[in-house]
Amino acid sequence: MNSQVRDKTFWQKIMIVVALVVLVVNGVYPLVWIFLTSIKNELELTQVPITYFPQTPNFGNYAQVFQAQPFARFFLNSLVISSLSTVLCVTVAAFAAYALARLRLRYRRIISIIIVAASMFPIVSLIVPLFQIMRGLGWLNTYWSLIIPYATFSLPISTLVLTAFFQGIPEDLESAAMIDGCSRFGALWRVIVPLAAPGVVTAAILAFVNSWNEFLLALTFNSAPDMKTVPVGVMLYQGEFSFPWPLISAAIIITIIPIMVLILIFQRRIISGLTAGGVKG
Amino acid sequence: MRQPELSTAPRSQTRGATFLARFVSGNLRDSELAILLLAPSVVLLVGIMLYPMLNVFLMSLRVQNTLEPSMVTTGFENFSRLLADKRFLDAFTRTIWFGFLTVTGSFLIGLPLALLANLETGWRWLVRVALLLPWAMPQIITGTMFAWMFNSQYGVFNDILVRLGFERIYWLIRPDSATVAFVLTVIWKTSSFVALILLGGLQSIPLELSEAAQVDGATSTQVFWRITLPLLRPAIAVALIFRTLSALQVFDIPYAFMSAGASQSLETLGVYVQKQTVEFTDFGYGSTVSLGLFALSLVITVIYLRFIRPEES
């Protein structure tokens, strides 16, 4: 339901504008504040009363981020892990979603419940057994210790999104392709795959964001200095008693850049993916 | 749902052919195809979630002597220790209380946000970005950011308070104000998530319904309470269960706050599990504590399925 703004009275419009401004400011202000902090000098931070805009903007902190810790390596680690887990997740989810959306199965309901129930397991409880599994497989401090779990954690939401998407593609298209001589797989490849691309992009973005942001497993499984991911890396700048906030803020900004880019480009897709989860339940 | 017709491939390749022949020609039976397609998901879910969970059950029977950590026996002592563990009971009640506050708060803020975001304005992309940002930010970073803003001496919030003429608040240091700071931070982050789910629900409500009601003389308020809200029930239910379960497990934000110097009064169940298993390396007891968390999640899920979602067809 989309109410038309132009039908409202003048005062209602003013209230709406104010409310919208509050909404936007609310979403954005922490990031703005962190950015401002990141270009200040350490000295300036300890002034009372605090300053809002830096007296002399100093972007040196950003260079320092890479010098104080192997942040470029962290970034690479996160990039590889998030990308590969996303690819794995979306592929597996697409298979499952196709089965759930298209094939008439008696146990379809149970499968859906299992998939949703899996997202209800407290992940923090799984740390120890997963740690032992990873140690047994020799995957600790490698990329795989995170790729496989991350793919699994995003599996429920990706399957949900893709199932909703596949259900929206008319069956007749496949039937037509098969009447024209395609096999089952052929119909899948030539008809479904091109049409499902938007849904796949949406599911991929959701999986990527979840993987990029994950902290607990990354902290526990990949503790070797050169295998850490970016969220873990950000916490390293804190000393025993010192908190170099400009440095930490710069690291935070760098961490968020890929996500910001994704949001700005794909906001429509992300929202449609998240809201599809709400509608289909 | 109309079953797509079988391919017109020659009979020899379908009826009576072996599995391998059918696979190669791309003409598996539906049930076989289903198993093939669903297998990877099942493998992953069982391997990463189900099997480890069973392990947790087994490991909670592994009792480690607190004075002599190398002595390990099997038994139920971990459970009796759990029920007597004050730190656990504190974390337990604290987690439930925090959960209640943050879930309620995120809905109180999320619903108006969703309604606002649903309006048609020229600035929709800005609204969308503002709604997505809190959701997309890593939790650990959200925690760190807000810990900085709540800093007693150099934080923004205290600065604004002082400029408005109020007293400084020692946010993170005192338990009660630390709770407020924590709850506000979680609400900031999660009201976007709730808003997004509710937005989906709102967008699926046909415009004609509210228009028809208004033609019949209903006011906006009546339209909201009598039409919008009831139709939003499925979306509210979904947002509720996801929000509640993640509120029970919350780890990153309290961890960030506590790393920045907050009092231990913020220790939630998730944090306590991590401390016991990773920092104290008492795997047996850590598993027992996490069973406490799992039991809580289970109860909440059962309540949800029984009372809030009984209309599952």
What residue in A sits closest to B253 (Cα-Cα)?
Answer: A215
- Residue A234 belongs to what domain range? 61-280
Of B5, B153, B251, the CB nearest to A179: B5
What residue in B sits closest to A36 (Cα-Cα)?
Answer: B156
Helices A193-213/A71-102 angle, 10° precision: 140
**In Å, how far is A266's CA from the nearest CA of chain B?**
10
A42 within a domain of the structure (yes/no): no
A5 touches chain B (CB under 8 A): yes
A55 within a domain of the structure (yes/no): no
Contacts of B150 in chain A (CB under 8 A): none
Contacts of A144 in chain B (CB under 8 A): none
Rounded CA-CA distance A211/A202 in Å is 14
Strand B62-64 with B72-74, pairing: antiparallel
How many other C-beta atoms are found inside a 10 Å radius of the C-beta of residue A48?
Answer: 9
Contacts of B156 in chain A (CB under 8 A): 33, 50
A78 within a domain of the structure (yes/no): yes
The answer to whether B162 touches B168, Cβ cutoff 8 Å, is: yes
Average pLDDT, chain A: 81
Whole-structure pTM value: 0.83
Task: Compute CA distances B27 → A96, A100, A185, B32, B199, whole Å.
Answer: 18, 18, 7, 10, 42
A46 within a domain of the structure (yes/no): no
Contacts of A125 in chain B (CB under 8 A): 53, 56, 273, 287, 290-291, 293-294
Contacts of A175 in chain B (CB under 8 A): 2, 4-5
- pLDDT at residue number A1: 43
Nearest Cα neighbor of B236 from A281, A108, A201 is A281
CB contact under 8 A, A24 and B127: yes
Q: What integer is the mean pLDDT of B100-123? A: 86
| A18 CB-near residues (< 8 Å, 6+ apart) | none
| ipTM at complex level | 0.81
Q: What integer is the mean pLDDT of B206-210? A: 76
- pLDDT at residue number B71: 62
Q: Which of residues 122-181 of B touch A (CB under 8 A)?
A: 123, 125-142, 144-146, 148-149, 153-156, 159, 162-163
| A151 CB-near residues (< 8 Å, 6+ apart) | A85, A86, A88, A89, A92, A207, B44
Spell A55-93 as b/e; 16+ CB within 10 A means b.
Answer: eeebeebbebbbeebbbebbbebbeebbbbbbebbbebb
- pLDDT at residue number A213: 92
Rounded CA-CA distance A251/A71 in Å is 8
**In Å, how far is B81's CA from the nearest CA of chain A?**
18
CATH superfamily of B78-308: MetI-like (1.10.3720.10)
B287 touches chain A (CB under 8 A): yes
The number of folded domains in chain A is 1
Q: What integer is the mean pLDDT of B187-192? A: 92
Q: What is the pLDDT of residues B68-80, one digit of tens each?
A: 666 666 677 778 8
CATH of the domain at A69: 1.10.3720.10
**In Å, how far is B63's CA from the nearest CA of chain A?**
15
Is residue B313 scored above 60 in pLDDT? no
Q: What integer is the mean pLDDT of A224-250? A: 83
Helices B175-203/B86-118 angle, 10° precision: 40
CB contact under 8 A, B44 and A148: yes
Of A46, A182, A216, the CB nearest to B7: A182
Q: What integer is the mean pLDDT of B140-159? A: 85
A38 within a domain of the structure (yes/no): no
Q: Which residue has the higher pLDDT, A243 or B23?
A: A243
- pLDDT at residue number B245: 85
Q: What is the pLDDT of residues B111-120, one digit of tens each?
A: 988 888 887 7
Q: What is the distance of C-alpha A202 from the center of its chain?
A: 11
Q: What integer is the mean pLDDT of B160-187? A: 85
Rounded CA-CA distance B114/B258 in Å is 32
A184 touches chain B (CB under 8 A): yes
Contacts of A281 in chain B (CB under 8 A): 234-235, 237-238
Map out the domains of chain B as residue ranges.
Answer: 12-49, 78-308
What residue in A sits closest to B270 (Cα-Cα)?
Answer: A124
Q: What integer is the mean pLDDT of A56-83? A: 85
Q: What integer is the mean pLDDT of A223-238? A: 86
